[in-house]
Structure 1
């Protein structure tokens, strides 16, 4: 099956690349870029068809994100994050889905999943309050998925959840000042006090068990694969895209460069440079191939209606974090080989190096934690974690 959305997105890539510096300086993706991406359908790729979505192959979604991130890391990151949320929303109660998509199937949903919001039980739902950082692309969104900590009458934590909150119930604080991914507008969401009805709340335990009330109305295999794989792959994809874009820019920039020191000569004739290019390209390819293989394998099992083995889920997380690690190693090699010219602020290699490392800081790319979980499973020990 061809990736038709990618074909439409490719027409936008030159203009997205031209706006990369503008995006970084503005600390947010331009509205015109978001509108153009909405028109391509990229934000509806993982959205159910019954609500105007495309219900695409998730591998196609990650492929499209990588292409955008190769042109502009911040735009690719925002596309990945906002584009994966329709998948999660599809697991919510159908009433919540209709509330969000009923009036506008193109409405965008932000998130901040850390369970830092306090929620208490009230009649018909919960009362929520709190402040959430790092909500990428939030200025473009009409809803937000927020992490909540349920407390009892004594104030003790009893459960973690994700709550769906409309724009009218929260404020946005413009606080995003970062070293990398500066154009993502990852600002802070603040809820003073809001009522969230039961149908807009999901226990995190449910999605870790590959369950959700939305599966009753969205029975396709796309909504039977693990949240941990779908979401973490969406976080890794823009990092891989950024590094791929830097690799292509590196080749174009250095191919005809003549050194004025170290004996002179064409850079491309240097065997050390040739080895560096070979290593970097192989690391990028390995990361993409393994991640795509794992997502396809999960979809195959889900399509058969079979239970997804824990070892397969663990392998997907293992290869996702190691794929990010490989990509960061590759861009470090390219950055170093570029020499002093790579230090010029705002050039694509320098910006890509910052963006990739900023993306690598996301908790979904925590290498040691994910590898430890894989090791537990390999030794036959029980594994209980929401990010598997």
Structure 2
């Protein structure tokens, strides 16, 4: 009997989107209770990860070959936003760690067996910036050096690392994602930050780790949607036809949306009874306060609807066997950065309107504001960069560097 036959789930129940969305809502109270501890730990409370496993949130990204749900992305990111309304750091991990299940489905089946042979719920983290060294050798590559910002690394058994193989005369470096077990790296406890403190996005060191060829995924295969997993049947569902920058980017942007919604909810709740310390007038009676609420809720709603509509459009096209154009892919990438921009505008308006009370530390209102600021500085959320790429694409012009082609 082959290893794969022995370890794959014989039968499993696929949980639908509405059920998973309701499970996320049901978890909000406990996530809010643990949010301060998650921030103190500088990593997501392990109980939250356990709850996400039980709820099946990580399975939303996973291939049905391994018992995953292959959920519609609109449902995936509705779940993530709802979780972010309770704890943005935890929601960040749900998405950023969960999406690696999606990416692993594109690797050769042998690599998937390396990770999930004994337990298909094993989790992975990542660090895609090619900051370490890669040396090509017979049968694979040797990795060494330091990689940074690996969110959720305390909760995983494997990590996906980005690295370049430089070849003289090649137009681009041979960028690949390398699958490395926990036994080959050491966590560096250097995540001391202003926002998203609970993501535990620490660095990792590798002295010398051999990565066989089957644990490597070239970027060209991902960008051209021509991966081993697609050929071997583990990434055959429409979900796996979504470009990696599109689905990964949404994992990085959506927590800001949930955090902004939570700030709006808290502001509205406080405004109902708040009065001016100078005049005693009710804040709720002030036209400027009412307008600020309307503007902020409008921006949050616009971002949410845009995200959902984009993924409905994408999945309808993929389900009908249609390809996404490079222009569409550039548009979706820019739209995700706009989501963070809308969230930031809404949050900043409410933060300033709250006056001195917004300055008090160790409160949910400020924590969510700082988490949005932290999300804004992620490279994936660089609105200026992807605005330029989308603008050029609209003029039928495309960049000639790997970053510009990350759409």
Normalising by structure 2, we get a TM-score of 0.92
* Secondary structure of 2:61's aligned partner: coil
The structural deviation recorded for 1:10 is 2.2
> Aligned partners of 1:151 and 1:207: how far apart in 2?
19
Q: Note closer, same or farther for the CA distance 1:315–1:158 as it changes in structure 2 (3 Å cut).
A: closer
> Aligned partners of 2:145 and 2:223: how far apart in 1?
24
> Aligned partners of 1:2 and 1:114: how far apart in 2?
33
2:365 to 335, 349, 354: 349
* Secondary structure of 2:110's aligned partner: helix
The answer to whether residue 299 in structure 2 is matched with residue 280 in structure 1 is no
The answer to whether residue 352 in structure 2 is matched with residue 336 in structure 1 is yes
> Aligned partners of 2:115 and 2:185: how far apart in 1?
16
User: 1:190-205 maps to which residues of 2 (within 5 A)?
Assistant: 190-205=205-220
After superposing on structure 2, the runs of 4+ consecutive aligned residues of structure 1 that deviate more than 6 Å are none
User: 1:224-235 maps to which residues of 2 (within 5 A)?
Assistant: 224-235=241-252
The residue that corresponds to 1:95 in the other structure is 110
User: 1:1-388 maps to which residues of 2 (within 5 A)?
Assistant: 2-152=17-167, 158-216=173-231, 217=233, 218-261=235-278, 263-383=279-399, 385-388=404-407
The structural deviation recorded for 1:9 is 2.5
> Aligned partners of 1:41 and 1:187: how far apart in 2?
25
The structural deviation recorded for 1:37 is 1.2
Aligned partners of 1:51 and 1:102 also within 8 Å: no
The structural deviation recorded for 1:157 is 8.0
**Quick check: 359-368 or 76-85, which moved more?**
76-85
Aligned partners of 1:120 and 1:151 also within 8 Å: no
Q: Deviations over 1:335-363 (max 9, x none)?
A: 01111011000111111110011011111
The structural deviation recorded for 1:205 is 2.1
> Aligned partners of 1:32 and 1:287: how far apart in 2?
30
> Aligned partners of 1:227 and 1:157: how far apart in 2?
19
Alignment: residue pair count:
386
Aligned partners of 2:167 and 2:174 also within 8 Å: no
Aligned partners of 1:204 and 1:386 also within 8 Å: no
> Aligned partners of 1:227 and 1:121: how far apart in 2?
25
Normalising by structure 1, we get a TM-score of 0.96
**Quick check: 8-17 or 186-195, which moved more?**
8-17
> Aligned partners of 1:8 and 1:70: how far apart in 2?
14
* Secondary structure of 1:19's aligned partner: helix
The residue that corresponds to 2:4 in the other structure is none
- Structure 2 unaligned regions, length at least 5: 1-15
The structural deviation recorded for 1:197 is 0.6
* Secondary structure of 2:70's aligned partner: coil
* Secondary structure of 1:249's aligned partner: helix
Computed over aligned residues only, the root mean square deviation of the Cα atoms, in angstroms, reads 1.6
The structural deviation recorded for 1:8 is 1.9
Aligned partners of 2:17 and 2:71 also within 8 Å: no
The structural deviation recorded for 1:158 is 3.4
* Secondary structure of 1:116's aligned partner: coil
Q: Note closer, same or farther for the CA distance 1:82–1:336 as it changes in structure 2 (3 Å cut).
A: same
> Aligned partners of 2:172 and 2:309: how far apart in 1?
38
The structural deviation recorded for 1:264 is 2.7
Aligned partners of 1:228 and 1:386 also within 8 Å: no
The residue that corresponds to 2:6 in the other structure is none
Aligned partners of 1:229 and 1:295 also within 8 Å: no
The structural deviation recorded for 1:152 is 4.9
> Aligned partners of 1:139 and 1:2: how far apart in 2?
28
> Aligned partners of 1:206 and 1:139: how far apart in 2?
29
